[in-house]
Structure 1
């Protein structure tokens, strides 16, 4: 950044170490509910079959009659092992709890209001104690939940619009070991903060006939202003330098996103759907870092060289009978970072999603759904060489995420 002073040792350490990140296809999670999970997000902004549309396309609420509630329970499992080129490694297997709530209420023929409480994105990585990359990262958690009131307006029988403002609550924690040169033992560095931010969600829905729908969703940028005072343990050259930092600011931007979706009911049994989406992750990759020590402030921009991502998906629904419906889908996300720039806090690459599930209708007012989805990254190579953190290289083998989802949809 122009006009910024050069950094001293402790600030340089901060600039190279403190760059948190998240996890998922682009990084936004598509798996908001059981239907989204089992369809791999296909038809995201056009389907509008249940209250999940509060988030996926607020305009779709105009299709829901009366008052509807949806509750979802959805654990996420990370399945990966890091194998070092030197023969060591670490297991990254972990399970993160998840869930969501959506509600819609039709005020009249034109106006519908809604509310959602759902996880927007999240990361939870925990490497083995003492592993060779501990100076890069030991543990990181970055989880967010969004609270979104929405409103939709049905312009006519074919066109609807909707919008919502999301209050996003983010919890961040990062831990790593500190390499103190000489006879000093390893130190410890912990960072944590809790912040809130706002994001706009705008949607449009066009229905040329009873069997076909087109939807468009736009998410605005949102600034995540993380601030923390480093908690440093141990003594030594680097630990003492880091301890002189009074405050560390990490300014990140959740990027804008656009998704266009289509849905078509072929006959009484079959429906097909799909998406094309774009997310501006190149902007998220530029982290503004400001470290203050001894009444002085040093600022830089750390560029993680992220790229904008594209998403495409296809899905199908098969109505077996009046009670059972089968959902399945496949999706592809382009890589958000080249292999040479992959980091230990975000082992990511291009990914494929495969989902399958079913919905059971008990009555006109009650539905149950279950679904499973795998997000497959495959093998991800990484090579890092940074100062006192050392040279660490290897492969994240068969890297994948697993979603298991259960929902209940209640129409009052």
Structure 2
């Protein structure tokens, strides 16, 4: 098909979100406690079992079995406005609310084995959400001479993504100051994707419904995490972790330009973070985090094991190359103890965008600022309820992207905001 040869942005995000409201398609929603403090110090605070999502070494600070179960609701507000092509002569309109809101669950369990060893299991998500730009893909504006133009269908469509990270970890305490930990990540992902719209059909050029991409794929990949904690004393400690991410291969039905492929191969970024916690007095603690995500590793999406309709093998294909940048996240927060029942917390996070020179309609990335607050209520000496809320504010971005369908650049303005609501139940046995 001549209208769509090399660019297939959609497949690039088949198993990763384009609207996760963090750098690239990364999620920050692993716990209500973390949301309330902008995840400042989350790799070392260890006030409940959710620390397992950030640093397995922190399990060494637990002397009792601990369970945390929570859910986050991401109320996403993604707007794509003034989409135009053919040097501004073709106007395709706007989409308000391009991303659906999501419910994101999590659970964590930590069990000390003895004074030195601890074991934990967890389930949470680091990536995933969805967008729908299908409405723009069905717009066919008319030129002054009456001719109808196709939409840039290769840049628009519907994407629905789910990923889940299952983790099993061990920690070891050398002494009262130094602990290490390591874990294995089992990452499951599934994606449903379509890119279709009205395109001109030879020989008369009449607009007919055409499917460019139809994807239904899932897969499992393995990664890992290592971490360390250094405790200066009971009130001051530092933590550090490094999460190794795999190249994700998803198998299933992938139909692309009259060729069926069995696998999509997506490189995922590693995550490195350093965190600190300081209890300044009986009522107030300060905490902070610096996190680097190696989005520069997300450089190319490939397809494997292609076959055309007559069964002839076509091998592998390069779908999309990226020029993303590594991204830093910085956050600072505070926790204030009101009394034996209540703690309150607040935080601020600055999250750098990753998109460099090659911008995208489907990934309206930008620097983002997080403003967060939360609280904990002790139901008993063993049971705590945590609540967190985060207001995420992005920037207005002007996007220019080349469309193979139009043989022209497409321009638009994009903005991504969100509000996260989260609640969590914690129990110490």
User: What TM-score does the superposition give when structure 1 sets the normalisation length?
Assistant: 0.89
1:267 Cα deviation from its structure 2 partner: 0.4
* Larger deviation, residues 376-385 vs 19-28: 19-28
Say which of 12, 18, 22 aligns to 1:19.
12
Q: Is the 8 A contact 1:31 1:40 kept in 2?
A: no
Change (3 A) 1:297 1:93: closer
Distance in 1 of aligned mates of 2:262 and 2:166: 27
Change (3 A) 1:268 1:118: same
Distance in 2 of aligned mates of 1:176 and 1:15: 9
Paired residue secondary structure (1:277): strand
Q: Give the structure 2 partner of residue 137 of structure 1.
A: 156
Q: Give the structure 2 partner of residue 213 of structure 1.
A: 237
Q: How many residues align?
A: 393
Q: Is the 8 A contact 2:81 2:414 kept in 1?
A: yes
1:252 Cα deviation from its structure 2 partner: 1.2
Distance in 2 of aligned mates of 1:258 and 1:380: 27
Distance in 1 of aligned mates of 2:272 and 2:226: 10
Q: Is the 8 A contact 1:359 1:369 kept in 2?
A: yes
Output aligned runs, 1:55-94, within 5 Å: 55-85=53-83, 86=91, 88-91=93-96, 92-94=98-100
Q: Give the structure 1 partner of residue 178 of structure 2.
A: 159
Q: Is the 8 A contact 2:342 2:378 kept in 1?
A: yes
Say which of 317, 320, 334 aligns to 2:338.
320
* Ranges in structure 2 where 5+ consecutive residues have no aligned partner: 84-90, 140-150
Say which of 171, 187, 194 aligns to 2:210.
187
Say which of 306, 319, 324 aligns to 2:324.
306
Q: Give the structure 1 partner of residue 165 of structure 2.
A: 146
Q: State whether structure 2 residue 279 is matched by structure 1 residue 265.
A: yes
Change (3 A) 1:247 1:14: farther
Q: For the aligned residues, what is the CA RMSD? A: 2.1
1:123 Cα deviation from its structure 2 partner: 2.2
Change (3 A) 1:34 1:264: same
Change (3 A) 1:227 1:13: farther
Change (3 A) 1:201 1:146: same
Change (3 A) 1:221 1:119: closer
1:93 Cα deviation from its structure 2 partner: 4.7
Q: State whether structure 2 residue 393 is matched by structure 1 residue 387.
A: no
Q: Give the structure 2 partner of residue 172 of structure 1.
A: 191
1:402 Cα deviation from its structure 2 partner: 1.7
1:114 Cα deviation from its structure 2 partner: 0.6
Q: Could you list the runs of 4 or more consecutive aligned residues of structure 1 that deviate by over 6 angstroms after TM superposition? A: none
